[in-house]
Amino acid sequence: MSLPKPSKGLQRAELARRTGANLETVRYYEKIGLLPAPPRTASGYRSYDAAHERRLGFVRRARELGFSLEEIRALLRLVDEREQPCAEASRLAGSHLADVRAKIADLKRMERVLRNVVAQCGDGTRRDCPLIDTLFRQKAVD
Amino acid sequence: MSLPKPSKGLQRAELARRTGANLETVRYYEKIGLLPAPPRTASGYRSYDAAHERRLGFVRRARELGFSLEEIRALLRLVDEREQPCAEASRLAGSHLADVRAKIADLKRMERVLRNVVAQCGDGTRRDCPLIDTLFRQKAVD
DNA sequence: CTTGACCCCGTAGTCACTACAGGCCGCACG
DNA sequence: CGTGCGGCCTGTAGTGACTACGGGGTCAAG
């Protein structure tokens, strides 16, 4: 049931299963123009081929790296149109890397404060509450 | 013009300015029941007091720690209704802390891969592109 | 011939805002 | 006393990236 037949037209569910995407997400990506619309069978069913699978895999993996759909759209344009895409792709990745690092820094700040308040709360039998007190104080960060 | 008058009824913009919240966000929080609806002047203008300011400050700081609005709603209920809220508040904070740590872990994984591909891309003069190649490969993580 | 699994479509809901349109209100200035 | 400008009011729509749902068509097995 999972023999990798050399792709004689995948249905939507099969494409989703192979790439790990959600069934509805496949349709969504087509709607926003991230995946090309596949040919249809006589009865209107979508029929995907290996190129669709490859492209959807690209999108999925880019999403796993946190790229936005617009960034992925730009990357796919580079793949399709450019001969020397690496400079621009690298620029996009670098910019995204900066975003990721900024998010990590934000989350680490949250983590530190939360770790402290949880430690101060202890078993929760105190009459006051360090978390609530912190949130009512002028600055939540210590 | 910014004397801290002992709050004779703040207008919405003034409340927003004092707490650092966006003007529209104040109205949004009221709409979803996170901030109590303030009294109105004869002409229908909202008139806030120090209690509103304190509460909105709480919400803002909780948001800065990454709590969702539903979590903040729960925290505010603890503040309003419970005598010994610390156990439950601490449980909420601990659960949120786990979320934050999971997000950090995800982002660090992304950071590592992105850092590697950006390094491999170098000045972008290569004919192939490590980023694009990686995204077309079976697994984006190394 | 019916059942169940698949497919189709459009639409609405999620989260946490943010922005906009169209219209009052209040106050300073001339 | 009028006028202009900013502030306030309301409801609604848009953002990103999906996800879910309802109502119906299709296909193969039993």
Report whether A7 contacts A53 (CB < 8 A). yes
Cβ of B89 within 8 Å of Cβ of A54? The answer is no
Listed residue (B37, A39, B77, B2) closest to B12, CA to CA:
B37
Per-residue model confidence as pLDDT tens digits over B63-104: 999 999 999 999 999 999 878 889 999 999 999 999 999 999
B12-81: CATH topology is Multidrug-efflux Transporter Regulator; Chain: A; Domain 2 (1.10.1660)
| Strand C nucleotides within 7 Å of a protein CB | 6-9, 15-20, 24-26
Domain layout of chain B by residue ranges: 12-81
Distances (CA, A) of B94 to A43, B50, B60, B71, B117: 53, 30, 19, 12, 35
Q: State the Cα–Cα distance between residues B72 and B129, nearest whole angstrom.
A: 45
Number of alpha helices (DSSP H) and beta strands (DSSP E) in chain B? 6, 0
Nearest C-alpha of chain A: how many angstroms from B81? 13
Question: Is the pLDDT score of B16 beyond 50?
Answer: yes
For residue A141, give the 3-state DSSP assignment.
coil
Task: Judge: A75–B132 Cβ closer than 8 Å, yes or no.
Answer: yes
Mean pLDDT of the region A114-137: 92
- B40 SS3 class: strand
* pLDDT value, residue A142: 53
Is the pLDDT reported for residue B4 higher than 50? no
Per-residue model confidence (pLDDT) at position A3: 35
CA distances from A23 to A9, A17, A20, A72, A73 (A): 16, 8, 9, 19, 20
Residues A132, B97: C-beta atoms closer than 8 Å: no
Per CATH, the number for A9-68 is 1.10.1660.10
Q: B102 in contact with A at a CB cutoff of 8 Å?
A: no
Query: Helix A50-64 crosses helix A23-31 at what angle (to 10 degrees)?
Result: 100
Per-residue confidence (pLDDT) for residue A103, from 0 to 100: 97
Q: Is B95 an 8 Å CB contact of chain A?
A: no
pLDDT digits (tens, 9 = 90+) for A50-70: 999 999 999 999 999 999 999
What is the pLDDT, as a whole number, of residue B85?
A: 84
pLDDT at A138: 75
Over range A12-17, report the average pLDDT.
93
pTM over 0.85: yes
Does residue A100 carry a pLDDT above 80?
Answer: yes
Q: For position A82, what pLDDT does the model report? A: 79
pLDDT at A84: 83
Reference B117, options A34, A3, A82, A85; nearest CA is A85
